[in-house]
Homo-oligomer: A and B are copies of this chain.
Amino acid sequence: MRTKDFKSVALKYKTIFFDAFGVLKNHKGIIPGVEKTFDFLDENGINYFVVTNDSSRGPEGLADGYIRRGIKSITPDKIISSGMLARDWLSLKIKEGTVAYLGTGDSAHYVETAGLDTLAIRDLDLEDIDHIKCLVFLDDEGFDWNQDINKVINLLRKRNMPVVVANTDIHYPVSKNDVAVAIGGISDLVEEVLGKKFIRFGKPDAQMFMFAYERACEMKPVKKNEILMVGDTLYTDIIGGNKFGVDTALVLSGNTLPEMAKVRITSSGIIPNFICDSVIID
């Protein structure tokens, strides 16, 4: 499988959307050399955004992770997270009452900035639920799975309410070889037990790309065919980008291993415009 140099690919576009895990970061943190890629983009007037299914913290928190590691140009306004879609949805649709959530206090940021009262599921009393207007799945950490997953199921059996999943990913890497179940996977289990349908935000869904596109256009008008989506996962980044109508580049620095790329593209029918080893520019 022949790969292309990321530099030559990047120069064809005015705006680039980057997935985070497997593209800019891995289990050890920022991939060494990524800062030079952003210098290169800045020098060439190419705009960029990080488009991530990560609702574990707000855009400031997410940006801070890049800035502290020397990529000063990834400011909070460059971050598009699935949590932001959840926050906007809550602002628009939930007018009053309390929003219950599964996740850390950091992740509850998205509910709070929507101007709503929050209640961690662990603090919920199942006998006093009339004021709960919505449930949000935010992060896989910050709660006891045994207790709180069952509590969520019984809350939703007692009271019909909208349920929002702020990150559709099923798992995420935690070390070189290990993964952990993500909140999207936990929400799938709850959906299966209940037979209900939740409202889900995150790639590959078009709403995520639309949100990023609108943000990009606010900064500098751009056409869809002038945008490149760069990701390591065919089933989220690439099919999502393809469907939204932007070009796509698969990088082999994350989920899709170099020796499997060809097989996976053929068997899935999900075809990126380009394949690059990584986003590193030599």
Interface readout for A162-188 with B: 1 if CB under 8 Å, 0 if not?
A: 110000001100100111110001101
A interface secondary structure, majority: helix
A247 to chain B, nearest CB (A): 9
Q: Using Cβ atoms and an 8 Å threshold, which residues of chain B touch A154?
A: 177-179
Asked if B181 contacts A267 (CB within 8 A), the reply is: no
Q: Which of A128-167 contact B (CB under 8 A)?
A: 144-146, 149-150, 153-154, 156-158, 160-163
Asked if B195 contacts A185 (CB within 8 A), the reply is: no
A177 to chain B, nearest CB (A): 7
Interface: A197 (CB within 8 A): yes
Interface: A89 (CB within 8 A): yes
Asked if A163 contacts B269 (CB within 8 A), the reply is: yes
Asked if B197 contacts A270 (CB within 8 A), the reply is: yes
A193 to chain B, nearest CB (A): 5
A170, B177: Cα distance in complex, Å: 29
Q: Using Cβ atoms and an 8 Å threshold, which residues of chain B touch A189?
A: 181, 185-186, 188-189
Identity of the chain B residue whose Cβ is nearest the Cβ of A92 in the assembled complex: B245
Q: Which residues of A contact B (CB under 8 A)?
A: 88-89, 92-93, 126, 144-146, 149-150, 153-154, 156-158, 160-163, 170-171, 174, 177-181, 185-186, 188-189, 192-200, 205-207, 210, 224-225, 235, 239, 242-245, 260, 263, 265-271
Asked if B153 contacts A179 (CB within 8 A), the reply is: yes
* Residue in B170, B205, B206, B242 whose beta carbon sits within 8 Å of that of A192 in the complex: B170
Given A92-B225, A195-B267, A206-B205, are A177 and B149 neighbors across the interface (CB < 8 Å)? Answer: no
* Residue in B88, B161, B170, B239 whose beta carbon sits within 8 Å of that of A193 in the complex: B170
- Other A-B contacts than A189-B189, A260-B263, 15 sampled, CB-CB below 8 A, are A89-B243, A92-B225, A93-B242, A93-B245, A144-B145, A145-B146, A150-B174, A157-B178, A162-B271, A185-B189, A196-B269, A197-B239, A199-B239, A205-B205, A207-B243
Q: Using Cβ atoms and an 8 Å threshold, which residues of chain B touch A235?
A: 197
A214 to chain B, nearest CB (A): 10
A163, B89: Cα distance in complex, Å: 31
Asked if B197 contacts A156 (CB within 8 A), the reply is: no
